[in-house]
Amino acid sequence: MVIRSSLQLYKQEFGRILLLGLLVTLPVQLIAMFFTNYFYTYYGILNLVYVADWFFAFIILLSISFVQIPFIRLFQLHISREPVKVSKTIDSLMKSGFTVYVMGILYAICVVVSSLFFIIPGLILMVLLYAFPYAVVMEGEKWGSAFKLAIQFGKDNFFRLLGIILGFSLVEMTVERIIEFGVLSLTHNFLIISLVLLTVNMFFIPLFSFINGFVYAKWAGQLD
């Protein structure tokens, strides 16, 4: 039901999704790629690749939290039966962007630090907190209140959310590897390969946001 509804919404709003991907998702991904490559190059020279791994995890958690904002807003407009306009989704970045960015930094730090020695605590914390952008955009909550709401949502839906995260990651990774293999048969240019993979990821993020949005909206009593 959730996946089918998410796919229907994706198909219905594909034009706007593509535009938002080009305006928001892809630029953020390019910035994230730049910093990721910088850290791997710098710490690789020092033989401290594991430190670069920490920065990579931090950047991924922060960027994925931020780029979901317009798609969460698009989803909210859809379920509230309001006209879906790109201007409204972009406006949500203006209203919620700073809050989600700062909270995303705190979220990423907490998850990375808790994962330094043991993966399980970091994974648990990631699941419990990762819905905070939904609390900010869909509920209008901020800071501690948004984290508190996200934790309650995470506790009530822990294994379902864990399944969504792991399942989605597995599917996306599989698709990316297949496409990467195809691109490598044509070129070994790092920039081209990276841009293709970023574009693939750009198309997955909205669907991920919609699936989580339906789960969150049902939990919050926002669905009819």
Q: Where are the chain's structural domains?
A: 2-219
44-49 own/partner pairs: CB under 8 Å, 24+ apart:
none
Q: Which is nearest to 2 in space by CA: 216, 220, 222? A: 216
Name which of 149, 11, 143, 9 is nearest 79 in CA terms: 9
- pLDDT tens-digit series, residues 94-144: 999 999 999 999 999 999 999 887 788 889 999 999 999 999 999 999 999
CB-based contact 107:133 (threshold 8 Å):
no
**pLDDT tens digits, residue range 11-70?**
999 999 999 999 999 999 999 999 999 999 998 888 889 899 999 999 999 999 999 999
At residue 182, the pLDDT reads 84
pTM of the model: 0.93
- Contact by Cβ (8 Å): 146, 78: no
Residues 59 and 148: their CA atoms lie apart, in Å, by 23
